[in-house]
Chains A and B, each alone.
Chain A
Amino acid sequence: MSDRFLPIRRRDLLASSAASLALAPISLAKGANIAADALSVVKPVNLKINGADRLLTLDPRTTLLDALREHLKLTGTKKGCDHGQCGACTVIVNGQRINSCLTLAVQHAGDEVTTIEGLGAPGKLHAMQAAFVEHDGYQCGYCTPGQICSAVAMLGEIARGVPSHVSDDLGKKMTSSNPEIRERMSGNICRCGAYSNIAEAISQVAGA
């Protein structure tokens, strides 16, 4: 895109948003019993990412996803829709899969975050990563880190007895049948349509 279509430059935008940031606490402070340290425009946040403590200083607006990608350069976690609809940003926080785009980094001080980089690496793949390779559980690969993080935590949910929309009997042990896997993975969209192979890869790890 040519600059002549962009009378406002990105640098100007950044400067103006920084100015509005600086003003925010002044309007708030008027009638309030908000604690002084809450009014800071940046917050120190200690996150445990893939087992390592990482101290960041963040604008409270920073989502966990942007903290991972832009501040920690952990770009394995992907930004798809940025609205919780596609699942590309799925990470595991304290053992639970969540959409990292729909949560603020400051909400996760002290939490343990596992990203695709923490699950495995070339040469020491997590079983789910290896199964995705074996079954061609992707084409372009963009949704894959989210699919894999989601699948790993999803099998944990089955093991803990979390039911699903397609579980017939709430009194019985939850299974990892193909319909169960498909329903439980519905928060992860694959634009290439690799679903059947994704389901096979997950089934293999589940031992189904």
Chain B
Amino acid sequence: MRSFTYERAKTPQHAAAVVAANHGAKFIAGGTNLLDLMKLEIETPTHLVDVQDLDLARIEDTSEGGLRVGAFVSNTALSAHPLVMRDYAVLTRAIQAGASGQLRNKATTGGNLLQRTRCPYFYDTNMPCNKRSPGSGCGAIGGFSRQLGVIGVSDMCIATYPGDMANALSVLDAVVETIKPDGTARAIPIGDFHRLWGDTPQNETALQRGELITAVVLPKPVGGKHIYRKVRDRASYAFALVSVAAIIMPDGSGRVAFGGVAPKPWRSEEADAALPQGAGTVAAKAFASATPRDDNRFKIALAERTLAGVIAEARS
């Protein structure tokens, strides 16, 4: 691990200003992803700004009938909150489908949104990677791509967003609240938070330098059946090959987002609207512009079958 200096920020604005003003500074919250990457020298911050003292660990009611989840709320605390389990169960299910008990205790709501891809070529510093080292090329294209993205990817990068939580936030129409280095606040709809890779796969989110996530707002509950189904190489503690987050209404309408297939939770109006027609129609709409590789073409059929299971579960 490269050396760095460390401080605990006293206010969100100060934290944002320090990171904005210092090239090489980064926020640290739970640290479970950042420290892993620092040990591998994939992340090499020179200064860490710890956000644990910023009073961002509360879950509060909003005046609109929803919940405001502080960015520092742990994955465990969020998934086990009684109102989340009752009204936003897809979020509880998604969080509990990811990582391990130990990691969920430390990982935070804001940090989970910012976790980086698990593309093996991103992790292997001997390999070219446009995300880790812009302009160096992509080892995954033409390499082993079984785990990697099939849609929304580019000629520069075919990595996926690896998380589970954000797929649930996608179908819940959550909003990410931030504070910018100048002290102003911003609200970013979850659908706009993660970027598609395009020509700059090193830029993964809509956040500006130094912009700090302060909360994630869940709108008023919408009811319906909340289901999260994850398909992976082992039954627990593994990243998704494909996952489906869905809210299905009694009439068969609803919302659906696919995980493990794209740089972001993959949701579209066309796919949502097709839900009453069944999984085949939804998958055809959702993956119309897919560009799979030979190794990961199976993900499209797997996504359709996984959704078929979700729809059957919703009807049962």
Contact = CB atoms under 8 A, between A and B. Distances in A.
Interface of A: 17, 20-21, 24-25, 27-28, 31-35, 37-41, 43, 59-61, 63, 82-84, 87, 90, 96-99, 102-104, 106-107, 150, 153-154, 157, 160-165, 167, 170-171, 182-188
Contacts of A90: 102
B109 interface: no
Contacts of A170: 85-86, 89, 92
A154 B102 CA distance: 9
A84 B36 contact: yes
Contacts of A25: 5
Contact of B85 (A32, A106, A163): A163
Interface stretch (B15-23, B152-160, B192-200, B296-304): B15-23
Contacts of B102: 84, 87, 90, 97-99, 150, 187
A112 B243 CA distance: 37
A34 B5 contact: yes
B100 A24 contact: no
Contact of A41 (B5, B24, B39, B82): B5
A82 B1 CA distance: 12
Contacts, number: 144
Contacts of A87: 100, 102
Contacts of A21: 3
A186 B100 CA distance: 6
Contacts of B3: 17, 20-21, 24, 41, 59-61
7 contacts: A24-B4, A34-B25, A43-B6, A60-B6, A102-B36, A104-B48, A107-B31
Given A31-B22, A32-B22, A163-B79, A99 B101 contact: no
Interface string B74-97: 001001101001100100110011
Interface string B102-134: 110110000000000000000000000000000
Contact of B76 (A37, A83, A84, A157): A157
Contacts of A157: 76, 101
B46 interface: yes
B28 A97 contact: no
B273 interface: no
A154 B85 contact: no
Contact of B101 (A31, A38, A106, A184): A184
Given A43-B6, A170-B86, A171-B86, A99 B103 contact: yes
Interface in B175-217: none
Contacts of B76: 96, 157, 162
Given A32-B22, A102-B36, A183-B236, A97 B5 contact: no
Contacts of A163: 79-80, 85, 92, 96
Most buried by A among B6, B47, B89, B235: B6
B296 to A, nearest CB: 23
B291 interface: no
A41 B237 CA distance: 36
A150 B237 CA distance: 15
B35 A104 contact: yes
Contact of B106 (A98, A162, A182): A98
B32 interface: yes
Contacts of A27: 24, 46
Nearest to B22: A32
A60 B101 CA distance: 26
A197 B20 CA distance: 52
Contacts of B50: 106-107
Contact of A160 (B4, B52, B80, B97): B80
B46 A61 contact: no
B55 interface: no
A10 to B, nearest CB: 16
B5 A84 contact: no
A24 B46 contact: yes
A27 B45 CA distance: 12
A126 to B, nearest CB: 19
A188 B28 CA distance: 25
Contacts of A38: 5-7, 47
A84 B31 CA distance: 11
Contact of B103 (A33, A34, A187): A187
A87 B25 CA distance: 29
